[in-house]
Amino acid sequence: MLLTDSSESSIKSFLKNLSPVDQVGADSRAAMLATRSIKTSSKLWAIETAIAMIDLTTLEGADTPGKVAALCTKAVRPDPSDSSVPHVGAVCVYNDMVKIAREHLDNNGGKEIPVAAVSTAFPSGRASLDVKKRDTEDAIASGATEIDMVIDRGAFLSGNLEKVFTEIVCIKEICGERAHLKVILETGELVTYDNVRKASFLAMAAGADFIKTSTGKVTPAATAPVVLVMLEAVRDYFAMTGKRIGVKPAGGIRTTKDAIKQLVLVNETAGPDWLDPKLFRIGASALLNDLLMQRMKMKSGQYSGRNYVTLD
Amino acid sequence: MRVDVRKTYKLFIGGQFPRSESGRSYELFDAKGIFLANPALASRKDLRDAVVAARAASEKWASASAFNRSQILYRVAEVMEGRRDQFVTEVMAQEGVTKAQATKQVDAAIDLWVWYAGWCDKISTIFGSTNPVSGSFYNFTTPEPVGVVAAFIDGSTSLIDFVHGVAPILAGGNVVIAIANEEYPLSAITLAEVIATSDVPGGVVNVLTGRTEELAPWVASHMDIDGVDGSGLEPSAYEALKRDGADNLKRIYRFKAEGSPQRIIGFMENKTVWHPIGI
């Protein structure tokens, strides 16, 4: 069932043997799971779990060292008025900000928080393999321990699967034991759920530690059915190989409700083992404030407002 | 015989007319005890949604020019004028007054919009100041809107009180969550329909209908509400509002049933700017 070698023909036959996705079924199952009601102590648990799973992200052309430093401070202690809030899963920045983020985290009690870098000509992935390799090497040398790489969607859509596969393998070689590799599929550009499933398997077979939905620069991003399809892929891959691959939805998850829906999907699809920051992350920035406000409401009984969380 | 086409009176949140999130409604009877309608019975989550919508709309409304706000408030009066008959019918049904009395009230309500529209670009002239300081500075004080204001609408009239509750808050550049009087939700929702079609941006006015006593504690403790007009509350509920609203220093007032710039300035705070002369 699994790949025997990395030739075009063997990749094609491997992906061809994958069971197709029932699109209507995936849509309706995701919609059905979104109606689950999570309240009181379960909600509090979900909020805190979601906070610990956030890859707190800033990926703007206008990012400054000051903004990255502020983000890192928030990552270490999301709610300055409450030390019982867990720190976030990771900080996710562009390559040139990795060093600043790493230093700021180390100096402010966030030694255990990894820094993730978006590499390989993020967000489009339109560069030569050599440039992508050096981009990744540079990020790791600066202190990144997680690499978020983008796949070449153009190659994938035109059927040049070997190119996509080889790129992931090359980047994985560079990461080695030094960094976790997250492969961004950019599902908003993959058109069909079948493609999402194929790309997920391609990435996992090529050595991804995590598969990630989107760059956040394309809409639609992490829609519930897409995350469901990816979680199913991860589950099936685990059944085949015994290897647990993580999933990271990113983009468009802004409210506590959205985040809790994601956790329900994880629990019901991949299983409770995946409810762990090691295997599930949420790429977000605005989400954290909403989670904190909801948590304040749970703790104090009164609705909170944006004046009581940091501006970012 | 034609089948009645009855209107569903829903809430007004963020420029939309949703039913209550809770799915609840309550029975409303006219002055003679005959069934009128089933208005929505808003829950605390509807209030929360309204605050989110209002907060999102507040920056744009506060930064609109006073003149522009004035035009929009005047526009509400214009559109109301075109629906006089509906307002007259609803005032008669809810209060049990004669057509002449109802017409008088509707006229007065429309005029009141015009009156508050006129205040928009005068409030800062009258309540602001240039202050004499010893130094080479100009020193200005201008009133600025506080943000999101909730208004419990009084029930001495079905329509005028609603205008008193909403229009002055808008005139000062604040956004409003109006909690309609329990007895008079029809005028409130019909006026919301007028507001929805009068260039008032979505979320600037939000109207909830339901039980005042159910919503009041949640308004009081909500940390993202900056001011409350408690005119429509019982004395004991008003005291509780003042106590529970102290946590985030809400501006809490109640007003007499008359037009007054105090209704505008009550929800504004003074900002003082020092500006060097000659630069």
Q: What is the ipTM of this complex?
A: 0.81
d(C-alpha A289, C-alpha A255), whole Å: 9
A69: pLDDT confidence band, cut at 50, 70 and 90? very high
Fold held by B36-276: Aldehyde Dehydrogenase; Chain A, domain 1 (3.40.605)
> What confidence tens digit (pLDDT) does each residue in A45-61 have?
999 999 999 999 999 99
- The helix/strand/coil state of B2 is coil
Residue A68: HSE in the Cβ half-sphere, 13 Å Cα cutoff: 26
B278: pLDDT confidence band, cut at 50, 70 and 90? confident
Residue A239: HSE in the Cβ half-sphere, 13 Å Cα cutoff: 10
> What confidence tens digit (pLDDT) does each residue in A268-297 have?
999 999 999 999 999 999 999 999 999 999
The pLDDT value recorded for residue A11 is: 87
* Cβ within 8 Å, pair B222-A307: no
In a domain, A280, yes or no: yes
Asked if A147 and A181 touch (Cβ cutoff 8 Å), the reply is yes
Chain A touched by B12 (CB under 8 Å): no
User: If you measure CA to CA, which chain A residue comes closest to B220?
Assistant: A302
Region B146-169: what's the mean pLDDT? 97
Which residues, other chains included, contact A145 with Cβ-Cβ below 8 Å and sequence gap of 6+?
A114, A115, A116, A178, A179, A180
The pLDDT value recorded for residue A9 is: 86
In a domain, A86, yes or no: yes
Burial of B172 (0-12, 13-18, 19+ CB in 10 A): buried
Question: Hey, what amino acid is at A137?
Answer: E
Residue A266: HSE in the Cβ half-sphere, 13 Å Cα cutoff: 25
In a domain, A311, yes or no: no
Region B223-241: what's the mean pLDDT? 97
Region B145-152: what's the mean pLDDT? 98
Chain A touched by B3 (CB under 8 Å): no
Rounded to 5°, the CA angle A102-A107-A110 comes to 65
User: If you measure CA to CA, which chain A residue comes closest to B218?
Assistant: A302
What proportion of chain A, given as a percentage, has pLDDT over 90?
Answer: 92
What proportion of chain B, given as a percentage, has pLDDT over 70?
Answer: 100
The pLDDT value recorded for residue A1 is: 53
Instruction: Pick the closest to residue B35 from B101, B79, B94, B109 (CA basis).
Output: B94
Structural domain that includes position A58: 52-298
d(C-alpha A225, C-alpha A148), whole Å: 22
In a domain, A243, yes or no: yes
Residue A84: HSE in the Cβ half-sphere, 13 Å Cα cutoff: 6
* Cβ within 8 Å, pair A304-B224: yes
Region A100-119: what's the mean pLDDT? 96
User: What does chain A come to in residues?
Assistant: 312
Q: Which residues of B touch A257 (CB under 8 A)?
A: none
Region B14-23: what's the mean pLDDT? 97
d(C-alpha B93, C-alpha B59), whole Å: 38
Question: Hey, what amino acid is at A31?
Answer: A
Number of domains composing chain A: 1
Asked if A34 and A70 touch (Cβ cutoff 8 Å), the reply is no
In a domain, A159, yes or no: yes
pLDDT of residue B194 exceeding 70, the answer is: yes
pLDDT of residue A3 exceeding 80, the answer is: no
Asked if A227 and A190 touch (Cβ cutoff 8 Å), the reply is no
> What confidence tens digit (pLDDT) does each residue in A113-147 have?
999 999 999 999 999 999 999 999 999 999 999 99
pLDDT of residue B15 exceeding 60, the answer is: yes
Asked if B189 and B67 touch (Cβ cutoff 8 Å), the reply is no
* Cβ within 8 Å, pair A307-B48: no
Region B176-180: what's the mean pLDDT? 98
* Cβ within 8 Å, pair A302-B55: no
Burial of A273 (0-12, 13-18, 19+ CB in 10 A): middle
HEC profile of B144-204: EECCEEEEECCCCCCCHHHHHHHHHHHHCCCEEEEECCCCCHHHHHHHHHHHHCCCCCCCC
Tokens of A279: 């295997």
Region A183-191: what's the mean pLDDT? 96
In a domain, A127, yes or no: yes
d(C-alpha A238, C-alpha A262), whole Å: 20
* Cβ within 8 Å, pair A305-B224: yes
In a domain, A26, yes or no: no
Active-site residue list of A: 148, 212, 248
Tokens of A18: 């994958």
In a domain, A8, yes or no: no
Region B90-102: what's the mean pLDDT? 96
The pLDDT value recorded for residue A203 is: 96
Domain at A136, CATH number: 3.20.20.70
Spell B145-165 as b/e; 16+ CB within 10 A means b: bbbbbbbbbbbebbbbbbbbb
The pLDDT value recorded for residue A85 is: 96
The pLDDT value recorded for residue B163 is: 98
Instruction: Pick the closest to residue B66 from B127, B132, B138 (CA basis).
Output: B127
Of B48, B55, B223, Cβ closest to residue A308 = B223
Q: Which residues of A touch B248 (CB under 8 A)?
A: 305, 307
Chain A touched by B224 (CB under 8 Å): yes
> Mean pLDDT across chain A, nearest whole number?
94
